[in-house]
């Protein structure tokens, strides 16, 4: 501060001086400066001081060189340059502004947490700030209001700027001025610290199966790249659960392990729980390693504790490489079904898969070519050669496949605008089939599929900027008959939609291929208006020379003539979009149908849909599916939001699932209240209702969420 005095001696009353020749020099600006004696200087009127990144403004400052002391008259504003702001009426500080006493003071940390105190004492070069009779909050207090939405009142508060911790003594948490919780001692990280060991905000959960419970998370910092989250969960029914989550970041990847151990009354004879691990690593050279593994004690645990509604679990280890003209993937997967009607001993539980895919440009033929090499195998624990559950698959069938496949595509455009596309696929498959009374041995298969496609787009542009496109499409495909020596494991479900209307093969896997000569007919229409709305339609069907019995009725592709496919979409600039698809027979009887709509506006969003699937034993669907889904979000006010989810089963004339969630959020508080009901049941899962309550003090205690900025009305 002696450097400050040297600068001040150069000032004349009413002048402003700015000089900083060394880091220890200070800059002072004031309306007037007076030397009362050889060691006392007084600055008055719009006083500003800049020193070592700190900025102070005040009405007047008196500096005593002998005592190396500052007496400051407010209103005082001090920005320490490290995210802390001090406001006070009076202050007695050391010359470097880091130690001393402030009265009627207020501290703002990281523009979030405000602490008002009768006295503030700064010591140890500004590391410690001790406050008495403190009120702390992150809420904005508007003019005419004296009570924040929430506040913590404490007898004493100490802030450690180095450790980035705040200690409260004799603290009381109040909402709207009403005391709700007394805490003799409370330690929280300050807003500038994003990771700190300690308790997080508790959460309440109530279900009809478990009763009311409380979750109290405890976060543990294990290092700069590792942490652990432990969450005890206790319910009124005496159930006890310990959730855990471990995370670690590496130089070239991340790993996360989470799980839980439970002792409850649902299965009181044994402990329950699950464990799940996820990882991703960059191996260099464009290769990535992905890990995912999950194991659960019983089929209903994940649903009982609201962890997941998955009814089939997969654990995988994969290595992939993706380049412009190259794709490589190797994967090992373990599968487990949680469905009550599925036996894991006769399901594929271990699958290995390897794929090499290369794209190239053949110089002789032109166009684009691709080569693919793939291996696949799966294993069932059962050793039975018979089909006990009558699903068409031997209980113990194990199968392996090696595939070599080449494809070629080329396009031409004629002078009249007709586009001609040609394509050919050639594939060789080698199988090894074991433990099957019907299929066995080492069959092999060679197939070749060719096709020619003609498109004739007609385009019209209007004077108002509207464009219309009509495009008739004809495709002729020739392929051999299917090979009955090969069982179909990976293509039992076939979709018929606008994406594969003109595909050479509509089977999604490799065990089956679409054989026979056929003609694919279609018509596309697209209208784009200058006002921002679009309309698209696609209609078509498949005509075959012969019915080879490859497809079930429910696919829409059976018979010499397939069902009619009609799909459409419409969207406008106001946020409305609708899509629909119908697969229907000649007599207009519906095989499949679905409709989806989305409407997004500034204050609300609505989405929903309808789905119909006819009954099909081949797809394990004894009854037709008719469901309506509706989701809606509505911003009732600036701070209140409501969300509704609903799924209704029209076939069963019953609700399948329903939920309601209310959220309140402002600049300092977030409250989530939810209720959901699951109506479906099985041998292992019962219908249940779930209530949830979460309260988070934003900007306080290490909260990472940011709220909506409060706007005060004048």
Q: Final residue of a domain: which of 120, 136, 169?
A: 169
**Closest listed residue to residue 190, CA positions, set 242, 138, 116, 256:** 138
Q: Final residue of a domain: which of 152, 169, 186?
A: 169
**Closest listed residue to residue 160, CA positions, set 84, 50, 224, 239:** 84
- Which tens digit of pLDDT belongs to each residue from 574-593? 899 999 999 999 999 999 99
Query: Residue 526: inside a domain, yes or no?
Result: yes
Pick 218 or 24 by higher pLDDT.
Answer: 218
Q: Final residue of a domain: which of 102, 134, 169?
A: 169
Q: pLDDT band at 674, cuts 50/70/90?
A: very high
Q: How far apart are alpha carbons 653 and 493 in whole angstroms?
A: 27
Query: Residue 687: inside a domain, yes or no?
Result: no
Cα angle at 144 between 141 and 148, to 5 degrees? Answer: 30
pLDDT of 703 reads 62
The token pair that represents 365 in the structure block: 């033929």
Q: pLDDT band at 191, cuts 50/70/90?
A: confident
The token pair that represents 672 in the structure block: 């989530």
Query: Residue 367: inside a domain, yes or no?
Result: no
Among 239-243, 252-256, 710-714, the least confident range: 710-714
Query: Residue 183: inside a domain, yes or no?
Result: no
Q: How far apart are alpha carbons 658 and 674 in whole angstroms?
A: 11
Our count of domains for the chain comes to 2
Peptide bond into 75 cis (omega under 30): yes
- Which tens digit of pLDDT belongs to each residue from 543-564? 999 999 999 999 999 999 999 9
Query: Residue 160: inside a domain, yes or no?
Result: yes
Q: Is 611 helix (H, G, I), strand (E, B) or coil?
A: strand
Q: pLDDT band at 276, cuts 50/70/90?
A: very high
- Which tens digit of pLDDT belongs to each residue from 402-449? 999 999 999 999 999 999 999 999 999 999 999 999 998 999 999 999
Q: Is 198 helix (H, G, I), strand (E, B) or coil?
A: strand
pLDDT of 17 reads 35
pLDDT of 602 reads 92
E strand residue ranges, 252-349: 253-263, 272-284, 287-296, 312-322, 326-337
Q: How far apart are alpha carbons 268 and 186 in whole angstroms?
A: 37
Q: pLDDT band at 686, cuts 50/70/90?
A: confident
Pairing of strands 203-207, 198-199: unpaired
Q: What percentage of the chain exceeds 90 in pLDDT? A: 66
Calculate mean pLDDT across residues 55-61.
93
**Domain extent for 567:** 443-602+614-622
Q: Is the pLDDT of residue 658 over 90?
A: yes
Phi/psi at 239 (nearest 5 deg)? Answer: -75, 145
Q: pLDDT band at 19, cuts 50/70/90?
A: very low
Q: Is 7 helix (H, G, I), strand (E, B) or coil?
A: helix
pLDDT of 1 reads 39
Which residues on neighbouring strands pair with residue 623, listed in sequence order?
Answer: none
The token pair that represents 450 in the structure block: 């060719």
Q: Is the pLDDT of residue 11 over 60?
A: no
* Residues ≥6 apart with Cβ < 8 Å to 180: 173, 174
The mean predicted confidence, pLDDT, of the chain is 89
Q: How far apart are alpha carbons 167 and 189 in whole angstroms?
A: 9
Among 189-203, 344-358, 524-538, 640-654, the least confident range: 189-203
Query: Residue 243: inside a domain, yes or no?
Result: no
Q: What percentage of the chain exceeds 70 in pLDDT? A: 93
Q: pLDDT band at 4, cuts 50/70/90?
A: very low
pLDDT of 713 reads 54
pLDDT of 661 reads 96
Query: Residue 486: inside a domain, yes or no?
Result: yes
Q: How far apart are alpha carbons 472 and 522 in whole angstroms?
A: 6
Helix (H) or strand (E) holding 301: helix 301-304
Calculate mean pLDDT across residues 252-279.
94
Q: Is 0.85 surpassed by the pTM of this model?
A: no
Query: Residue 646: inside a domain, yes or no?
Result: no
Pick 96 or 585 by higher pLDDT.
Answer: 585
Calculate mean pLDDT across residues 181-208.
87
Q: pLDDT band at 24, cuts 50/70/90?
A: low
Q: Report the sign of the C-alpha dihedral through residues 384, 386, 389, 394, in that order.
A: positive
* Residues ≥6 apart with Cβ < 8 Å to 185: 167, 168, 169, 171
Q: Is the pLDDT of residue 295 over 90?
A: yes
Q: Report the sign of the C-alpha dihedral through residues 415, 420, 421, 422, in that order.
A: negative
């Amino acid at each position: 501060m002696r450097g400050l005095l040297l600068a001040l001696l150069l000032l004349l009353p009413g002048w402003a001086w700015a000089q900083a020749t060394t880091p220890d020099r200070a800059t002072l600006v004031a309306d007037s400066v007076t030397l009362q004696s050889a060691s006392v200087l007084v600055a008055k009127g719009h006083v500003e001081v800049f020193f070592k990144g700190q900025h102070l403004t005040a009405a007047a400052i008196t500096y005593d060189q002998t005592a190396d002391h500052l007496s400051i008259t407010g209103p005082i504003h001090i920005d320490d340059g490290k995210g802390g702001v001090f406001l006070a009426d009076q202050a007695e500080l050391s010359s470097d502004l880091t130690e001393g006493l402030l009265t009627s003071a207020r501290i703002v940390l990281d523009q979030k947490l405000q602490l008002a105190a009768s006295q503030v004492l700064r010591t140890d070069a500004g590391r410690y700030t001790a406050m008495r009779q403190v009120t702390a909050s992150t809420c904005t207090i508007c003019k005419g209001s004296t009570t924040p939405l929430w506040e913590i009142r404490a007898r004493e508060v100490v802030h450690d700027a180095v450790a980035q911790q705040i200690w409260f003594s004799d603290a009381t948490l109040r909402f709207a001025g009403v005391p709700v919780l007394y805490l003799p001692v409370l330690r929280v990280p300050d807003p500038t610290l994003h990771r700190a060991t300690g308790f997080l905000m508790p959460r309440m959960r109530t279900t009809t199966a478990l009763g009311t419970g409380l979750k109290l998370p405890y976060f543990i910092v294990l290092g700069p790249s590792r942490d652990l989250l432990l969450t005890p969960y206790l319910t009124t029914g005496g159930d006890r659960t310990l959730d855990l989550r471990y995370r670690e970041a590496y130089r070239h990847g991340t790993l996360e392990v989470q799980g839980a151990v439970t002792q409850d009354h649902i299965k009181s004879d044994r402990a329950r729980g699950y464990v799940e691990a996820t990882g991703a690593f960059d191996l260099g050279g464009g290769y990535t390693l992905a890990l995912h593994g999950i194991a659960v004690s019983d089929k209903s645990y994940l649903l009982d504790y609201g962890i997941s509604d998955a009814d089939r679990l997969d654990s995988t280890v994969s290595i992939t490489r993706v380049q412009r003209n190259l794709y490589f993937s190797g994967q090992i997967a373990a599968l487990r079904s949680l469905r009550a009607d599925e036996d894991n001993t006769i399901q594929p539980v271990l699958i290995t898969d390897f794929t090499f895919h290369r794209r190239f440009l053949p110089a002789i033929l032109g166009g684009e070519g691709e080569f693919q090499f793939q291996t696949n195998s799966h294993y069932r624990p059962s050793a039975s050669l018979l089909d006990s559950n009558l699903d068409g698959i031997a209980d113990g069938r194990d199968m392996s496949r090696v595939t070599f496949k080449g494809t070629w595509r080329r396009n031409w455009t004629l002078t009249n605008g007709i586009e001609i596309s040609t394509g050919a696929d050639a594939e060789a498959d080698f199988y090894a089939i074991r433990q099957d009374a019907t299929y066995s041995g080492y069959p092999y298969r060679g197939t070749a599929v060719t096709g020619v496609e003609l498109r004739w787009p007609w385009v019209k542009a209007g004077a108002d900027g509207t464009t219309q496109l009509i495009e008739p499409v004809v495709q002729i495909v020739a392929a051999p008959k299917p090979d009955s020596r090969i069982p179909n494991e990976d293509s039992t479900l076939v979709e018929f939609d606008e994406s594969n209307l003109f595909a050479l093969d509509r089977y999604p896997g490799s065990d089956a291929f679409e054989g026979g000569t056929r003609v694919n007919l279609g018509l596309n229409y697209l209208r784009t208006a200058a006002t921002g709305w679009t309309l698209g339609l696609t209609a078509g069907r498949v005509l075959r020379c012969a019915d080879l019995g490859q497809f079930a009725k429910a696919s829409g592709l059976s018979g010499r003539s397939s069902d009619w496919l009609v799909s459409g979409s419409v969207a406008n600039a106001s946020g409305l979009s609708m899509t629909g698809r119908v697969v229907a027979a000649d007599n207009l009887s519906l095989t499949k149908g679905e409709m989806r709509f989305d409407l997004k506006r500034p204050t609300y969003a609505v989405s929903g849909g309808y789905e119909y699937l006819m009954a099909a034993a081949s797809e394990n669907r004894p009854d037709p599916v008719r469901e309506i889904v509706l989701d809606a979000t509505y911003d009732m006010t600036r701070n209140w939001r409501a969300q509704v989810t609903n799924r209704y089963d029209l076939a069963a004339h019953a609700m399948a699932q329903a939920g309601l969630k209310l959220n309140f959020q402002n600049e300092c508080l977030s409250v989530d209240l939810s209720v959901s009901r699951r109506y479906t049941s099985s041998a292992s899962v019962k219908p249940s209702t779930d209530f949830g309550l979460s309260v988070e003090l934003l900007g306080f205690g290490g909260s990472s969420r940011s709220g909506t900025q409060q706007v005060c009305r004048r």
